[in-house]
Amino acid sequence: MKKKAFTLVELLVVIGIIALLISILLPALNRARQSAYSVACQSNMRQIGQAMTMYQNANKGSFPMWDTHILVTWYPNIFRIAWARTLWNGNYLTNARVYQCAAKPPNEIDMNSFPKDYQNAGSPTSDVEEGPFVYVDYGYNYKYLGTSLWDGSLSGVRRYEPAKAWKVKQPTETIVLVDSLAKWVPWRGYYIVEPEAINAIYYGPDVRHPGPSVNVLWADGHVTAVRCDDPNNPFTAGALTDGLIAPNHWDLN
């Protein structure tokens, strides 16, 4: 019995159906992938939050200092330590890949192969020895938790001591970490974020998850995706409000 071959029209119809199915399925698969990235990112933040809690338990309730370079840039023989490296050096984290969000390109340097307590004698106060610990994908609320920078006065007296956990009056509503972006190298995260929109021109929150949303670690240890109606300004109402639009989710109060 002679088999009937496909006609050109039938072949084109089949190809058209396959192309249609691909066009329908690909966006759904992409959304699923992005949602998976967001879930993995939240898991990273929870692990970092647990590491910070362990650090606090070992340091009289203190949050880690955001970066010791504010104390040592004038003295070339003292090495700067960023908060991410503080947790890593102290063995509060055993897998440094939790600093890397799956929604961002991988860090060029494998932090797991980065020696603990590594110091670059040639450049002790620069980014050279901090490397991947500066370009982590999660920015720290450095002004209010990492230094207790703002004392409430009009003079804005600088205080270098990090905040104490028990001084955070509303821990369920106070930001510790947020998805971050180094705006001069937009494929990189950054280890701190500015808490006010007016100052966040160099490093700020990165709206990189579905919603659009940004993941946030709060002071009580829980993590949520915060929807940002305006991805270009995550400081708008209902998102990471900065005090210009009350309430202020960055301040200890």
Contact 133, 84 (CB under 8 A): yes
> Is pLDDT larger for residue 184 or for residue 57?
57
pLDDT of residue 37: 92
Residue 171 or 16, more confident: 171
Cis link prior to 247 (omega < 30° from 0)? yes
Instruction: Write down the pTM of the prediction.
Output: 0.80
Q: How confident is the model at residue 150 (pLDDT cuts 50, 70, 90)?
A: very low
Three-class secondary structure of residue 9 per DSSP? helix
- Tell me: pLDDT of 251 over 90: no
pLDDT of 236 strictly over 50: yes
The answer to whether the bond into 106 is cis (omega within 30° of 0) is: no
Q: Is the pLDDT of residue 141 over 90?
A: yes
Q: Is the pLDDT of residue 151 over 50?
A: no
- Rounded to an integer, what distance in angstroms lies between the CA atom of residue 180 and that of residue 249? 16
Q: Please give the radius of gyration of the chain, using alpha carbons only, rounded to the nearest integer.
A: 23
Average pLDDT of the residues of the chain = 80
Q: What pLDDT is recorded for position 73?
A: 46
Condensed to tens digits (0 to 9), the pLDDT of residues 64-95 reads 988 876 554 444 445 667 899 889 888 998 88
